[in-house]
Structure 1
Amino acid sequence: MKALCWHGRGDIRCDTVPDPRIEDARDVIIKVTSCAICGSDLHLMDGQMPGMESGDVLGHEFMGEVVETGAGFTKFKKGDRIVVPFNINCGECRQCKLGNYSVCQRSNRNAEVAAGLFGYTTAGLFGYSHITGGYAGGQAEYVRVPMADVAPMKVPDGMDDESVLFLTDILPTAWQGAEHCEIQGGETIAIWGAGPVGLFTVQACKLMGAERIIVIETVPERIALARKMGATDIIDFAQEDVFERIKEISTGEGADGVIDCVGMEASGHGGITGALAAVQEKLTATERPYVLAEAIKAVRPCGIISVPGVYGGPVPINMGSIVQKGLTMKSGQTHVKRYLEPLTKLIQEGKLDMTSMITHRSTNLADGPDLYKTFRDKKDGCVKVVFHPN
């Protein structure tokens, strides 16, 4: 089969790889009908995430049709269309029973490696390095889905692929990021980044009742989409002082909640921060805490910092600001299974815009290497890339 594979920093290829096979009774094999490039995939492309090996199949946003099941498997049957969350869940460990699906204690085949880096293991993830289990990803024609009786969801009748594809990651990620801000209604929320996660976060904050939704971005196409999704204020970080503008918008109070939708791909602009950014990016630094530093500064005393953006290692942060201002920080990979049913209902009710951010589509995985670069470099107005390989 054809699949998009990692072969080193900046080297993504469309390879012919062995077809997946059933390895356990809880497995299913799906024929991928839709998959997407995620911003987190760029961390892999740019060599910012350790644990990658040449030939690894990429992709953790995918869905498709069941073509084979393990012996005695009953949750799905051949021909069912399913959405597959990016994290793999056993459904049996204490964390799964608590609903903390992103830190499943049994699904990571390399749990000891993850624990060595983070203290405890994370869940197994599709297409996201051997630190998270080394599972083949979904930017492929076929995928093996282990423990398929727990996390995946059958697509309701009448819903097409592009209506539900983003349930696999970026929509629940955005929702959890907004939920962490404990929005009750009337708040001012500042969101760094109007990529796909940021755009869904704008929609989530609006639905939860935030009064002012500030988006920090500089790419014109993304700014236009942020306004369409419900942003009330835009700060162009390449042209304005973010902290001063947030103070002005919030009448000197600061934002009630701040959301870092950028993570380790952040870039600094202006002054010392900009100079450090230029140096670090040339050195391929794996962590760039510019957004996080701005967010910590801009949130009001006793406010909340939400970090759905991905970080892979240590970053220097102003702990004094967190302590002296009495801040709360919430983060984590997304507990996707928690959100599948409620978010599907919102989609069916027409309350979420699922397709406006899709700017590039392809039916050929061979276009993948070029589209990765287009997405990374934000060329041709690229915001989100979707493949329909079968």
Structure 2
Amino acid sequence: MKAVVYRRHGGPEVLSVSERAVVDPGPGEVRVRVVVSAVNPTDWKARAGRGAEAGTETPDTVPNQDGAGVVDAVGPDVTGLAPGDRVWLILAGTHGPEAGTAQEYTVLPAAKVVRLPDAAGFDEGAGFGVPGLTAHRALTVAEDGPTRLSPGALDGRTVLVSGGAGAVGNATIQLGRWAGATIVATVSSDEKAALARAAGAHHVLRYPDPELAGRIREVAPDGVDLVVEVAAGVNAGLHTEVLRARGTVAVYGDDRGTGTVSLEFGPNLWLNTRYQFLVLYTVGEDKLRAAAEDVTAALADGALRLGKDRGVPVHRFPLEDTAKAHIASEEGATGKVLIDVTPAG
């Protein structure tokens, strides 16, 4: 089979296409023929080494956490999955360096393999892995909020989505709308505003804007219940101006920041502000599985979709051009970067 592999950390030039043997699944494992692989920032950051010196050697590694495809074979003791099932994958690369989705077949524990609803395509299955699971976690960490999502779970709640045209921002808007929240999104351009509206945001506001807090208060006079934050350091002051008492900030990024978040003690004290930092790799298997179930339900309902008409332009590459796909993501392509790995049929 064909697989994209890197053996040292560095830029996209370290990626190469190799021929590798197809591995049989062991007990509790499933072999999946990957139809679509998706690129997220976490993938090229891992390839670059997350601070490791360029050129540092690493075990043979197949990149990309997200993907969708068809079950090809199951190992002993696997129940609930069978050859021919359409599936999407949960953090495939965390199973081992050679388990990523930029290859024709990958072998994973059955717990990382989720049935893909008939109503959803392989693009959605791959495209809403990391973004969908991150959005779910962000929408379920508030002290007074639900721990699971379903239609009506967020009725009466207002959610501020920072960076509403990003992958996680878009997934948060779509999932939040499905669950009944009122969504206020912030974006940096008119083009991105159109994408946030296409995703379903009720109110879309531009930044930078010295009156941004006031504009948010105009549409949410009592304050927002939850902020889903991609730029924690830059927006820390804004939070205390727009949060209601006992409001929550779910932080998954520090875009345009320094890596250090400074908070004003007094305003946050009197608001009883809750900050919840989140990353999927340490969130816990129970949280991941619950999120996967809810994301799957949203996919089945048609609440999560890719495409410009849903605020997610798609950029496609063949497997041989995985390096170009990584470049597109690293250069900030708006929307979703997908890799066609094997035919859907």
TM-score category of the 2 structures, normalised to the smaller one: 0.7 to 0.9
User: Aligned letter for 1:127?
Assistant: G
Q: 1:250 and 1:72, CA in 2 relative to 1: closer, same or farther beyond 3 A? A: closer
Aligned residue for 2:93, secondary structure, equals coil
Q: For residue 149 of structure 2, what is the aligned residue in structure 1?
A: none
Offset, 1:199: 0.8
Q: For residue 170 of structure 1, what is the aligned residue in structure 2?
A: 131
1:178-193 residue pairs with structure 2 within 5 A? 178-181=139-142, 182=145, 184-193=154-163
Q: How far apart, in 1, do the equivalents of 2:49 and 2:86 lie?
A: 33
Q: For residue 314 of structure 2, what is the aligned residue in structure 1?
A: 359
Q: For residue 188 of structure 2, what is the aligned residue in structure 1?
A: 218
User: Aligned letter for 1:136?
Assistant: A
TM-score, with length taken from structure 1: 0.68
Match of 2:104 among 141, 152, 173: 141
Q: For residue 337 of structure 2, what is the aligned residue in structure 1?
A: 385
Match of 2:250 among 301, 306, 314: 306
Offset, 1:34: 1.0
- The sequence identity of aligned pairs, in percent, is 21
Q: 1:159 and 1:60, CA in 2 relative to 1: closer, same or farther beyond 3 A? A: same
Q: How far apart, in 2, do the equivalents of 1:209 and 1:15 lie?
A: 45
Structure with greater strand share of residues: 2
Offset, 1:308: 4.1
Offset, 1:327: 0.9
1:30-45 residue pairs with structure 2 within 5 A? 30-44=32-46
Q: For residue 150 of structure 2, what is the aligned residue in structure 1?
A: none
Verify the 8 A CA contact 2:316 2:340 in the aligned structure 1.
yes
Is 2:268 the counterpart of 1:322?
yes
Is 2:16 the counterpart of 1:14?
yes
TM-score, with length taken from structure 2: 0.76
Q: How far apart, in 2, do the equivalents of 1:141 and 1:10 lie?
A: 23
Verify the 8 A CA contact 2:5 2:16 in the aligned structure 1.
yes
Offset, 1:134: 4.2
- Unpaired segments of 5 or more residues in structure 1? 87-125, 267-287
Verify the 8 A CA contact 2:4 2:322 in the aligned structure 1.
no
CA distances 1:288-312 after superposition (whole Å, capped 9, x unpaired): 733456445542332111224489x
Is 2:171 the counterpart of 1:200?
yes
User: Aligned letter for 1:197?
Assistant: V
Is 2:129 the counterpart of 1:127?
no
User: Aligned letter for 2:122?
Assistant: D
Q: 1:46 and 1:254, CA in 2 relative to 1: closer, same or farther beyond 3 A? A: farther
Is 2:345 the counterpart of 1:371?
no
Q: How far apart, in 2, do the equivalents of 1:224 and 1:39 lie?
A: 23
Offset, 1:62: 0.8
Offset, 1:195: 0.8
Verify the 8 A CA contact 1:173 1:336 in the aligned structure 2.
no
User: Aligned letter for 2:194?
Assistant: A
CA distances 1:255-276 after superposition (whole Å, capped 9, x unpaired): 221111x2xxx4xxxxxxxxxx
Q: How many residues align?
A: 315
User: Aligned letter for 2:35?
Assistant: T
Task: Calculate the aligned-residue CA RMSD, in Å.
Answer: 3.4
Higher deviation after alignment, 318-327 or 197-206: 318-327
Higher deviation after alignment, 292-301 or 221-230: 292-301
CA distances 1:287-342 after superposition (whole Å, capped 9, x unpaired): x733456445542332111224489x974331625334211223432633213344
User: Aligned letter for 1:368?
Assistant: T
User: Aligned letter for 1:246?
Assistant: I
Verify the 8 A CA contact 1:28 1:66 in the aligned structure 2.
yes
Q: For residue 148 of structure 2, what is the aligned residue in structure 1?
A: none
User: Aligned letter for 1:142?
Assistant: Y
User: Aligned letter for 1:255?
Assistant: V
User: Aligned letter for 1:256?
Assistant: D
